[in-house]
Chains A and B, each alone.
Chain A
Amino acid sequence: MTTTTTTTAGGIQAVKPTVGSYVRDYWGKVRGGDLGSLPAVLGLLVLVAIFGIARSDTFLSAFNFANLFNQSAQVVFIAMGLVFVLLLGEIDLSAGFASGVCGAVMAILLTNEGLPWYVAIPAALLTGVVIGLVLGSLVAKLGIPSFVVTLAAFLAFQGVLLLLLSDGKNISITDEFVLALNKSNMSVTWSWIVTLVAVAGYALAQFNRYRSRIKRGLIADPIGIVLARVIGLAVLLIAGTYILTQERSINPVINSLKGVPIVVPIIAVFLVFWTFVLGRTTYGRHVYAVGGNAEAARRAGISVDRIRISVFVIGSFMAAIGGILVVSRASSVDPNTGGSNILLYSVGAAVIGGTSLFGGKGKVIHAVIGGAVIAVIDNGMGLMGYKSGTRFIVTGLILLAAASVDALARRRASATGS
C-alpha cells in the first residue's frame, strides 16, 4: 500500500492516514498493550453467543434483553463514578453502601416524611456529594490511603443504613415518578425518536470534527473510519430499539410491555456527559494528568488535591444515582441495598471494561461495557440454572482475567515504550 505524506500542524511531516494505516495503527496499539475495551467487547460477544445457544428461548428473548438494563443500572452507575476514582489510581470501597444510604435517604423523605420526589431525589444526590467530599478530603488533605478511608466508610455506611432503617425495617416507596425511573418503558414512538436523535447527534458530532480538522489542515481520522463508526452505532442502536419495541409481555391484552426502558436514556445521558467532561474539558485533562503523573501535574500548576477530592465527589454522586435506581427497581430499600456483591461487581465492571487499576487509563464507556459483561454473566448463568455460588466464582475469574490483562498490558507497554 502506498502512503502519502502530508505536512500538518505547523510543518511537521506526517503520514496521511488511510483506512489501512488506521487499522494497522490500532493493531499496533493493541500489540503494544493498549487494549482498551477490546477484550470486554469480545468477551461480551462470546458470552452472548454461549448463553444464546444454551438458552435461546429465554436469554435471547426481548423480555430478558430489557431486563438486563434494569438489572445492571445500579452497577453501571456506580462503575461510571468509579472510573474517575480509578483514573487517579485510587479506590472507593464504600460506593456500594453509599448508594444504599442515598437510596434510603430518598425513601425516608418520600415515604416517612411524605415529601415529593423533586425534594427527595436532590436530597439523595446531595447526600452523595457530601459523602464524596468527606472521603476525598480525608484522602487528599490528610493523605490516608483511599483503600483504608473507604474501607472504614464501607463499614460505617453499613451501620448508617441500619440506623436509618430503624434496625432493618424495609421502607417501600410508592412515588410514581421514582418507580418509573427503573421500571417503566418509553412509548414506542418516543423510543424511536430518542434513538434517531441519538444517532443523528453522534453522526453530526463525528462529521463536524472531521470537517473542522480537515479545514485547519490537521490530520483527521480517515473518512472511512468515521463512516464506519457512525454506521456501527446506528446499526447497534436501531437493532436494539427494534427488539425493545416488540411486544414482550406474556399476556399483552392484560398488560402490554414494549418500548425502550427509561433507564437506557438515563444511562446514555450520563455516559455522554461524563465522556464529554473527561475528553473535552480542562478538568478531564487534569484528571488524566494527575492519574498519569501527579508530580508533573503539580508542577504544571494543577491543584492535585482539588482533583483528588472531586473524583470522590463524582464517584459518590454517581453511586447516589445508582442507589435511587435500585430503590426504584425494588420499590423499597432494605439494609442490604447496595450491599453484598454490588460494590465488587461495580469495581469489576470498570476493570473488565478496560479501566486500569494503576490509574491514568480508562473511559466512562468502560463502565457500561463491563457492566454489560457482568450483567450477562449473572443473568445468563441464572437462566441456565447455575447456583449463585458458581456465578460468583465465574464472575471472580473473569475479573481476575481482566485484571491480568490490565497488568500484562502495563508490563508490555513499559517494555515497548521509552
Chain B
Amino acid sequence: MAATPLLELRGIDKSFGPVQVLHDVGLDVYPGEVTALVGDNGAGKSTLVKCISGIYTIDSGTVTFEGKQVSIHSPREASALGIEVVYQDLALCDNLDIVQNMFLGREKKSGIILDEATMEEMAGETLRSLSVRTVKSLRQLVASLSGGQRQTVAIAKAVLWNSRVVILDEPTAALGVAQTAQVLELVRRLADNGLGVVLISHNMNDVFAVSDRIAALYLGRMAAQVKAADVTHSQVVELITGGRSGNLGLPPEKPSEFIDITPGDGQ
C-alpha cells in the first residue's frame, strides 16, 4: 500500500531511573493499515504508546510524523498532530451521554452556550462514517451502553477530530465474541478510511483477523516488524516469547545481555 509511513519511530530509548525499558525501538505506522503491536507483559508496549502520546518524553531517538520530525511533550501536542489513544479503561463518563462524552474537553460553543445541535450532528456523522448503527439514541447515557458500544464510542471519540493515527490499547480485552467481532470490524474500517491504526493486543486471533503488519516487542527491543501475511501464528508467538523465530527477530546473542535486569538474578 502506501510507501511512506505516516508515523515513523527510530532509535527510541526510554529509561526509568536505572531500568531501561525501551532499547533502540523503531516502529512504522502506515496510513490505511492496521499495525498490531504485540509483546509479552512488560515488553514495553504501554511505555512505547505513552511515549508516542506524549505522556512520557523519550530519552533519545526520533519521531517523524508525515515526513516531518516532531517532538511530542504532552497528550495535547499529540492530539494536535492527530494522534489519539483509546485506552483500555476507555475514559468515558458514565453519567454523560454519547455526544457529551465524544466532545468532552473540546466542546463546541456558540458564545458561552454549548452548541449541542452542532455537536450532535458531528457525533452522528462520525458514527455514521464508521457505519455504527447500534446505538438507540445519541443522547443515551454511556452507563446504559454495552461493552462493545462503549468501545465504539471511545473509538468514535478518537476519530472525531480528523485524527491521522489512532492507537487502540487492548480494545477487545473485556468483550464477548459478538462484540469483539463488531469492534474488530470497526478497527478495520478505521484503516480503510485511511487512518494509521496501531492495535495493541494479546489475542493472536484478533491480530491476524485485522492487521496488515505485526510489530513484536521483546524485552524492550523491537524484535521484528513484518507483514501479517508473511508470518504464521506460531512464528509470532515465538517472537513474543523468545524475541526470535528462525531468521526473523533479534540476533541470538542479544537477549542474553538483558538477563541481568530480571529480578533475583544476582549482580
Contacts and interface: CB of A to CB of B under 8 A. Distances in A.
Nearest to A15: B136
A130 B182 CA distance: 52
Interface stretch (A56-64, A175-183, A278-286, A394-402): A278-286
A361 B94 CA distance: 10
Given A282-B114, A288-B95, A300-B104, A32 B144 contact: yes
A9 B125 CA distance: 7
Given A10-B121, A12-B133, A216-B121, A292 B95 contact: yes
B104 A296 contact: yes
Contacts of B120: 9, 218
A24 to B, nearest CB: 13
A281 B133 contact: no
A337 to B, nearest CB: 36
A212 B127 CA distance: 22
A418 B104 contact: no
A281 B113 contact: yes
Bin chain B's interface residue count.
35 or more
B125 A293 contact: no
Nearest to A301: B105
B117 interface: yes
A299 B132 CA distance: 25
B24 to A, nearest CB: 29
Given A293-B94, A360-B93, A416 B104 contact: no
A286 to B, nearest CB: 8
Given A10-B127, A12-B133, A14-B136, A302 B105 contact: yes
B178 interface: no
Interface string B184-209: 00000000000000000000000000
B116 to A, nearest CB: 8
Interface stretch (B145-153, B219-227, B235-243, B246-254): B145-153
B123 interface: yes
B76 A292 contact: no
B114 A292 contact: no
B181 interface: no
Nearest to A360: B95
A141 interface: no
A360 B101 CA distance: 13
Contacts of A232: none
Contacts of B92: 293, 296
Contacts of A289: 93, 96, 100, 104-105
Interface of B: 75-76, 87, 89-96, 100, 104-107, 109, 112-114, 117, 120-128, 132-133, 135-139, 141, 143-147, 150
27 contacts: A9-B123, A9-B138, A10-B121, A10-B125, A10-B128, A12-B124, A12-B127, A12-B133, A12-B135, A14-B137, A15-B136, A218-B117, A218-B120, A280-B114, A282-B114, A289-B100, A292-B96, A293-B93, A296-B90, A296-B92, A300-B106, A301-B75, A302-B104, A302-B105, A360-B93, A360-B95, A418-B145
